[in-house]
Structure 1
Amino acid sequence: MRKYVLAFLLGYVTIQPSLAQSPETLRIRQYHQQHADTIIGEFVQLLSLPNIASNPIGLQKNADFIMAMMAKRDIHNIQLLPTKTSGAAPAVYGEVKVPGAKQTLIFYAHYDGQPVNPSQWAKGIEPFTPTLLSAALDKDGTKIPFPTDGIFNPEWRIYGRGASDDKAGVAAILNAYDAIVKSGLTPTCNLKFFFEGEEEAGSTHLNDILEANTTLLSSDLWLICDGPVHQTGKKQISFGVRGDAHLDLTIYASKRPLHSGHYGNWAPNPAMMLAKLLASMKNDAGRVTIKGFYDDVVPFTAAEKKALAAVPSVDAQMKRELGISSSEMTGLSLSEAINQPSLNINGMQSGNVGKLASNQIPTFATAVLDLRLVLGNDWQRQQQKVIDHIKAQGYFVIDHEPTDAERATHAKIIKIIAGNDGYNAQRTSMDLPIAKHVIAAVQATTSDQIVLQPSMGGSLPLFLFEKYLNAKTISVPIANHDNNQHAENENIRLKNLFEGIETMASLMMMK
């Protein structure tokens, strides 16, 4: 195994003449290869701390551990930035002032994670017991012990909640700074570190923290380390994110469940009503049919259109990986589709299925809608467009359980709860001088042409940084695209973690 790994690592530093990796990157690489056991050991400790967003005690332990990581690296002014709400997770902050530096960068990641259902994870893998596998589970990866000789195959994967989303970001950022200092290099910018504890809960109190710390959090740019690299495995930079909003729908029919033989064809079936309503929202080409859904979209600039056209196509690859033969939006590539506003059904429920199925007409049917927004969409206005469409289908809209009087008066009743934690999309111009420096810094770490995305498909409340700090943001993700974030068997490929350290270090030294 040692010979294989050493051979892999020798190939790992091979460069192409046209896109050579910088000498600084090679020094950072040498450092993390020599200290891989320490880096992974600390990372495993961090992953072992439960970080579910609804567990404030667990989140505080994570924050304390990260503060200790920062102190060990001689980062200064380490502190917790609390919210106005008792029990809400604080952000962890620290900074490094570099003599002569003319710019300040803030590096962002989050330490909270999604809920877990251990029964859904693969046998022998526990969400908060980091487990090393020889490869991905779907590639016949098997459990292996963590090595004692400090040699790690970059294709190995660590499984555990938060492994990729987003404790890998925390580890990459802090180890990047560590590698710079211990390699005898120097950052070119003042550095600030901001690790949020509520991202997976919708960043409900992030505005409190930003508004209360405008001077402390002043900067020239926020660099967001969250999300996956491109599906080709190439590094990518995203200059924007989609916004997000939700709607909970519940259609009501009979007050009690009915025998489908005695009452079928007579009593309204809420499941069928919901299916028809949802089907009215999209056509066969995958476009949303709700009036005005696309009207307020801000078009791409010439530079953004050029970047989007240059994004490598992964449609055939992803269809093979996912076992699908067609895509929803006719005529659009994956990159084009995720830069459109979307309406997605997160889940539906009515009656029972499988072994619990019975011959009944259910009393209600419910669904959760997820609205992804692009620049120009207002999240509340987008919600209202959907509500107006539902009203146009003849529904009486309420926000409570229907009364007997309402049932007697209206044939089609729906309860709509519009989520109040939505937020708008954000996009930073690719033409800014500092954006070009970011591109050059990331490109200096790889011999592959990096991928430039005008906006990623996922959502983050980055518009808050513009609103409260007048700050620009750029996302530089590091996780593997098949990391199972938000789901069972979340994982990080070691090569992505190590390359993430190189990327973050290059950004800290960007010229």
Structure 2
Amino acid sequence: MSIPIRAAIIHCRVICLALLAWPLLATADPTDVADQVRAWRQAHEQRIVDDFVKLLVLPNVASDQVNIRKNADYIRGLFEQRGFRVRLLEAGDSPPAVFAERETPGADTTLMIYVHYDGQPVNAADWASDPWTPVMRDAPVELGGRDVAMQAPFDPEWRLFARSAGDDKAPIVALTAALDALADSGRRLSVNLKLFFEGEEEAGSPHLREMLDSHRELLDADLWLFCDGPVHQSRRWQLNYGVRGSFGFDLTVFGPNRPLHSGHYGNWAPNPIVRLNELLATMRDGEGRILVDGYHDQVVPPSALERDAIDAAPLVDTGLIEQLGIGRPETDERVEMAVMRPAMNLRGIRSGDVGEQARNSIQTSATASVGLRLVPAQTPDHLRHMIERHIRAQGYLVLHGEPSAEQRAGHDRIAQLDWSGAGYPAYRAPMDLPLARSIADILNRLSSDTLVELPTMGGSLPLYLIDEVIGAPILILPIANHDNNQHGKNENLRLQNLWDAIEIYAAVLTHL
């Protein structure tokens, strides 16, 4: 046999062996993938942090149209560089949603990963440093964290401070790092991957339904995986099967039509602050129970499987009481069970002044802002009807605008209700969903700590829209530290949470 023919045969055998091994690269044990990705991350930590900083310096409030588009264009470039087909989806004057997709030959499952790139507005004066200038510290600000150089090697307990560090830009950087690590390791994905980066989640997702309706086929998938929110308070990884719904209103009650001297008219003229507090006390008690008749008519109680999942989660209440500086919780229930109930939260009360600005007067009105958290299968329309009926039963004329002089003269008690938007219902996926069991198995194999699986997270996301329009099941896989100060001052991400996310995403993308 000639040397050229022998060489050709050997070359053919090498190619065949490589082709036979290629599927194994996608189906190797997830712990092997995680180990390989961890080694890659340890060698590239400076680059990963630098990439995170480049994203965090871009202001990202949804109403800031110029900067929000800069974010979208930057994210588009990140994934075009990694072989994705990318397009911007828009509806009217909405911030663009960045859609990206990459097919895997032979893959049977299509996974959609959702992340939002917009953030909450900021009051820079409240922050320890500029919200759009990322700073590395060795601990939370509240615990005296000191600035440290943003240079490797990094302590995994260090934290990066900036708006959206924890909510929700970290998954974007973790995804790009996971994809790079897999590419450099020669591992292919096991799924067809789609990505949806929303630009107005913190503004209530007003255009999401229109986008879903307009691009239903494009956005179809076997599973939507929401990468948003914090991990469990025990620091264990967490998989959530649902969210609470959200609704809210401002409630104003009225006193005299001009401020009155409290010495001349106290105990005679009705005080709207007192009346407001009395009215609120008829709606909610000191243990968080909602007292409005009919409010719970639509509630679906937790299933036995959901209760068992909560019972299996580590208890964190005692630690939270100490961390948060509260004497005791409102309820004797553990925190995970408490968030399974509907909630009525008083977001703020406004009337008169306190301290040096306090005046001895009876105010003309008092307003409370009330936030509602819904559970399956409550609807905003039903709750609105029940609340307004309850307020009428307390002797109030219910209005949706300013009372006229005739109405003031003809009614002892007047309540103005301003409902903030349409609100949206809760969503909960079944805990025995096959793809959920696959993800849970992957995560349990990666960690020595048992995965925390909870029926719902306490926060709200408009998952119901995806359920209604696309019809795909939805899970939430959070990565941020539970104490990341999301929506508040000094928002941060603990670096170990970012490192964990890179390994989690790599394992899921190669083994689902």
The TM tier, using the shorter chain, reads over 0.9
Distance 1:339 1:190, change over 3 A: same
Q: Provide, for residues 72-130 of structure 1, a one-character-per-residue CA deviation record: whole Å limited to 9, x for no partner.
A: 2222x2010111x22x11110111100100000001110000010011112xx110000
Q: State which structure, 1 or 2, has the greater radius of gyration over its C-alpha atoms.
A: 2
The Cα shift of 1:140 comes to 2.0
Q: What residue in structure 2 maps to residue 377 of structure 1?
A: 378
Q: What residue in structure 2 maps to residue 95 of structure 1?
A: 101
CA distance in 1, matches of 2:156, 2:476: 24
CA distance in 2, matches of 1:300, 1:338: 11
Q: Provide, for residues 131-158 of structure 1, a one-character-per-residue CA deviation record: whole Å limited to 9, x for no partner.
A: 01011112221011211xx321111101
CA distance in 2, matches of 1:177, 1:444: 20
Contact 2:30–2:442 (CA under 8 A) maintained in structure 1: no
Counterpart pick for 1:320 among 319, 322, 345: 322
The answer to whether 1:476 aligns with 2:480 is no
Q: Which moved more, 1:441-450 or 1:271-280?
A: 441-450
Give the SS at the match of 2:384: helix
Aligned pairs (5 A) from 1:444-455 = 444-455=445-456
Q: Which moved more, 1:387-396 or 1:475-484?
A: 387-396
The Cα shift of 1:302 comes to 2.6
Contact 2:300–2:376 (CA under 8 A) maintained in structure 1: yes
CA distance in 1, matches of 2:277, 2:380: 24
Aligned pairs (5 A) from 1:34-183 = 34-75=43-84, 77-83=85-91, 85-86=92-93, 88-122=94-128, 125-147=129-151, 150-183=152-185
- Matched to 1:81, the amino acid is L
Counterpart pick for 1:25 among 34, 40, 56: 34
- Matched to 2:499, the amino acid is F
Counterpart pick for 1:219 among 213, 221, 224: 221
The count of aligned residue pairs is 484
- Matched to 2:98, the amino acid is V
The Cα shift of 1:175 comes to 2.2
Q: Which moved more, 1:438-447 or 1:361-370?
A: 438-447
CA distance in 2, matches of 1:215, 1:131: 42
Query: Structure 2 length as normaliser, TM-score?
Result: 0.93
Contact 1:187–1:508 (CA under 8 A) maintained in structure 2: yes
CA distance in 2, matches of 1:204, 1:119: 29
CA distance in 1, matches of 2:357, 2:77: 51
Aligned pairs (5 A) from 1:278-289 = 278-289=280-291
Q: Which moved more, 1:478-487 or 1:51-60?
A: 51-60
- Matched to 1:28, the amino acid is V
Aligned pairs (5 A) from 1:211-290 = 211-290=213-292
CA distance in 2, matches of 1:183, 1:215: 33
- Matched to 1:311, the amino acid is A
Contact 1:189–1:509 (CA under 8 A) maintained in structure 2: yes
Q: Provide, for residues 345-364 of structure 1, a one-character-per-residue CA deviation record: whole Å limited to 9, x for no partner.
A: 01101101111111111111
CA distance in 2, matches of 1:215, 1:21: 31
Contact 1:21–1:447 (CA under 8 A) maintained in structure 2: no
CA distance in 1, matches of 2:101, 2:455: 29
Give the SS at the match of 2:421: coil
The Cα shift of 1:21 comes to 6.9
Contact 1:241–1:455 (CA under 8 A) maintained in structure 2: yes
Which consecutive unaligned segments of at least 5 residues does structure 2 have? 1-28
Q: What residue in structure 1 maps to residue 425 of structure 2?
A: 424
The Cα shift of 1:399 comes to 1.1
CA distance in 1, matches of 2:381, 2:356: 40
Which consecutive unaligned segments of at least 5 residues does structure 1 have? 1-19
Q: What residue in structure 2 maps to residue 17 of structure 1?
A: none
CA distance in 2, matches of 1:170, 1:250: 42
Q: Which moved more, 1:178-187 or 1:479-488?
A: 178-187
CA distance in 2, matches of 1:387, 1:436: 43
Contact 1:110–1:169 (CA under 8 A) maintained in structure 2: no
Q: Provide, for residues 193-214 of structure 1, a one-character-per-residue CA deviation record: whole Å limited to 9, x for no partner.
A: 1000010000110001111111
Contact 1:107–1:173 (CA under 8 A) maintained in structure 2: no
CA distance in 2, matches of 1:33, 1:224: 26
Aligned pairs (5 A) from 1:200-211 = 200-211=202-213
Q: Which moved more, 1:377-386 or 1:405-414?
A: 377-386
The Cα shift of 1:60 comes to 0.3
- Matched to 1:353, the amino acid is V
Cα-Cα RMSD: 1.2
Q: Provide, for residues 396-427 of structure 1, a one-character-per-residue CA deviation record: whole Å limited to 9, x for no partner.
A: 01111111000010111111011223111001
CA distance in 2, matches of 1:280, 1:483: 35
The Cα shift of 1:50 comes to 0.4
